[in-house]
Structure 1
Amino acid sequence: MIATLIRATAFVCLGLSVTAHADTAPSSKMGSSKIDSSTVVAGTGDTSCPPGTTRAQRQHAYDALSRQLQVWDDAYYRQGERLVEDGVYDQAKRRWQHWRQCLDPTIAPPPQPTPASARDELTHPFAQTGLDKLPDRQAVRHWLARQSDQTLWIQPKVDGVAVTLVYRKGQLETAISRGDGVKGQDWTRQVSRIESIPRHLTTDEPVTLQGELYLRLPNHVQARDGGVSARSQVAGLLNRQTLSESAARKIGFFAWAWPDGPWKGAERLRQLTQLGFADTANYTRTVTRLSEVAQWRDHWYHARLPFASDGIVIKRSERPSGDRWQAEPPSWAMAWKYPAAQTLAVVEAIDVSVGRTGRLTPVARLDPVQLDDREVSSVSLGSLANWQTLDVRPGDQVSLSLAGATIPRVEQVVIPATPREPLELPDVDRYDALSCLTLTPGCREQFLARLTWLGSEEGLDMDGIGPASWAALVDAGLVDDLLAWRQLSADQLQQLPGVDEVRARHWIHAFQAANARSRTQWFVALGMPPIPEAVRDKALEAPLATLRERTTAGWQAFAGIGAIRGAQLVAFFHDATIDAWLSSLPASSADDTDG
């Protein structure tokens, strides 16, 4: 149980806060995204707005997120810079879509256009479409259900820079950057030097290929190595005035669309291989069920590949004619990203938990998000000092990552709440290693933590009695100090919900067994500061009266005990409540020289 010392809650509407006081062109990692109105955008399908917010407040929040996405898009498309991790961006885009539907659920949200550049001078023969990025298995399942009996392909989603290659009469005529999907930059000079892209084809028919220029990474394992800034490196090379031979050898090409090619998917793969683009067939598989999609996603996430990839693409093998494509995600293809290394989460409130020793730990409660295929609804902010450094407040949108691949942590505030409440810290002097030895106002959480420790294997090893048992005893008014359980009877215990005669007798037996524990176990159970095991028996073998009289210097005489720990031990044995309990230890736990 967490005692909320600070709870500055915020209204959160789809991730924005108002404080209350197939052949397709996979979009670049921050590309435009249009979610079909039947798609589960945020994994919940909820488009409602929270109570207590006005339309003006909702519109303000939507506009703020739109501006942030525009900043990220500008940097990504114009400078080739990724300002935030893909998972953060993708979650922000889903939130943007969800917020738009909150404002007006009767219409599907329009795509946010990809920023255009003044250097986007060449028109693509066929529009580069981009992809919807679906957030979870449920959304993928819904998409698959709408494809009826279509033959579906699955491919790794190559992490690179999108390009259009235009061949006329067998010659590479033009290479065009993705740009806004309609127009892009002239990359012909740079691309013509890339040895993995043939300058001549064995056909005089017009050939237009859309694909990904990727950084060659032999034996790259995405789950192990991550993105390694592969896209940024390729973008940097292509933005040079001259692409050197050594740089050109670092770049590969994956063709994921042939808009003017054969309509039948199998024939497209065969001819692409004949023309010198074998990667496409090598990394294309047929799928029919969600389980197969999930298996390939997991396989490619952990497999050795020649490129970085950030997910999988599923598409119909037969797609509409290229002249019908538009610069927006189509209905016949989608992407499912790999487990996010980072994501964006909204802080709903900040609670401060009190540990057994009085340590205060701020915990951010979150609007639940997926991170590494897990749902995360809360995250520790560490110490109060770390909370101050991060400056996280209710309503903020923060980036989350996994520390050591297991523990969620807040990296930074990405989008601050508007307006933002002052940061108010709890009283650090309220709790310490000797506070809440009894149940007094404001002490429930630390008191319960003390009881849990007392009954644990580290303490008196009370079999079958854990945190829930102690909470029931405290809430029933049967335990209000650390030793009150010693006076309980089986009849009293049976008054608790769910405690029958058998269970009550088991608890009484556990209490009686605890009474027989050694004196050292009792010291530890009552919260004695840790003493190195190598010297613990020697340090504690003295009579209780001697332990009470020992000074800080006296404790420091034992190896591994410094001035701070010595002072803590002096305080423990001098505390009046602790002293009274130690004096009341059962005879089997007392030493012969006492009293």
Structure 2
Amino acid sequence: MVNELIAKRVAELRTEIRRLDHLYYVEATSEVTDLQYDRLLEELKRLETEHPELASADSPTQRVGDAPVEHLVQVPHTVPMLSIDNTYSREELKAYFDRTEKLLGEPIQWVMEFKIDGVAASVRYEQGQLVTALTRGNGQVGDDITHNARTIRDLPLRLVGETPPSVLEVRGEVYMTNADLADLNLRQTEAGSEPFKNTRNVTAGTIRLLDPSIATERKLRFFCHGIGESEGLSAQDHIAFLDEVGKLGIPPTPQVQVLENSAEALKAVAVFEEEMPDLPFEVDGIVFKVNRFDQRERLGIRSKSPRWVIAYKFERYEAVTLLRSISVQVGKTGAITPVAHLQPVDIADTTVSRASLHNADEIERLDVREGDVVVVEKAGKIIPKVVRVEKHERKSELPPFRFPTHCPECSTELVRDDGGVYIRCPNPECPAQLRQRLIYFGSRPGMDIDGLGDELVELLVQRGIVSSYADLYRLTVNELADVHWLKQRKGKDGKMIDVQVGKKNAENLVAGVEASRSRGLARVLASISIRHVGPRVAQLITRQYPTLDQLQSASVEDLASIHEIGDAIAKSMHEFLHSDYGSKVFAELRAANVKLSEELPDLGDAPLAGKTLVVTGTLQHFNRDEIKALIEKLGGRASSSISKKTDYLVAGEKAGSKLTKAKSLGVNVLTEIEFKALIDS
């Protein structure tokens, strides 16, 4: 009989190694060193070798060492693995949303997720054990890649939990990170082999190899984004499904957004195109899916694709060039942003000589150094970014980039955001921040001051003519007209020429500054670079607090109770209002006769004028956005949290904790029918 202590130790080792794998590959964290991990794995291998009767197909040791298969076998999918429609046009995307909503005949909640540029795969578990993995193939039949799927470290060989679903077939994407490709290409060239071009090509080739030991070395990964056959899941929508499979140990596709309607979805597309997040893997678009499974069933499928999903793709363009140097810029909120200065290269009909490196963590993740050969990508309207270092082109030892510890402009010691990735200069009087703030203040989203361009701001700050927002309102035509500077002329000779503002330009600028005095408090709040406060947030705040005095008297809790504001924005707004710097800014603007109030519409006898309402539970006659918009239209304030200041709680079915709290505070509770009676009275 096998020694019980040895069997217990084997079980302990397997549990611990699985836990460490999940931490490292799924949660991107680690509790042990590589050496400590290797020792645990070696101990498990030794015990299993000495006691073969303890062998188990789901042991972490079984991820490597399988014998190569003779050839790939084709296996039918239990549920067809269909492709999805795609579009490159925002107009076609809108038409799809309109068509789908019309076909269903009711509101649709959409989910948006990354379209990861990898290889589609279906992975099947039975009684919690990984039994089969297939490629998409033709949708009906796929290649059996189980031998290679078992090498994917973030894909569990056995599901987490005591009672896993009896059958679970997940669909997802096998992919490789840019950092792992850089390391792989370095090994390729050291071995005298050709480097791989991109992550998708190497993933597609690797997943179909016959020898799993090669797949082990290439560190493939997996994200789950869909479902095939299943027995035992409780999820009724996509978000709940991703949460459920995540708890079973399968990594769900990350950063999924829930969007209440197609209008929000289209706004999300615009934001994504302009502000694509920094990701360690390649994406070639975004995917929109109907969230609720019952709505998906009613929409059904076409011959080759479901009606409930579409991909919005963008063209990706890449080029390889030399990274000459790295510099850092100080932004209007003090964030220190590293910039890659490149040997100019043509990408998508534009010459690119600079690319963002985002933050210090991104530099470390890429291991990018001055003098490196890098891959630069431009996708859609997204600004160029460095996606990968061609480490195999690094012919000599290059020193790592040292991120500054002090502001390059004012020498103040830099600080990192609590729990964040950004490093900032905390000095609000920093000249670099001042320049960026003034540029934004005069921009169209700011106070819209015609003629206040980047170059002129630089000059006015440099010469000490302007050192605050209020200084702009003291500028005179005579003072500006005589301002001149040397500028390099465009063209072959590149001759330096003297440029002067001149009287006409000075008159236009002073007129633009004068016009901005009356823009109102919301525009001021959105223009003075308060963290997290843009035009939309400023409008929401000033609807509730239309004068500066009222706003300054509001507590953090008061601000956070405003619909769509939340704790982080409220804290940032309150801290700015009561900081020495913020108090000085508002005092100077007030002295400069800048309007610091808003003219709110006269609601007269509007039924909800001055009332604060909270909505909770499932409603029959309104969706959540409709009723909140109606409350604001009728003069009320739609809040997200219950407090003593709440006038009414509109409670639908399954109201939950908000209803309990409202009753304890003595807040008036209305049914939908009572709410309709109130607004019709």
Would you call these one fold, judging by a TM-score over 0.5? no
Q: Which has the higher contact order (CA 8 A, sep 6+)?
A: 1
Structure (1/2) with the larger helix percentage: 2
Question: What is the TM-score of this pair, normalised by structure 2?
Answer: 0.36
Structure number, greater radius of gyration: 1
Give the TM-score normalised by structure 1: 0.41
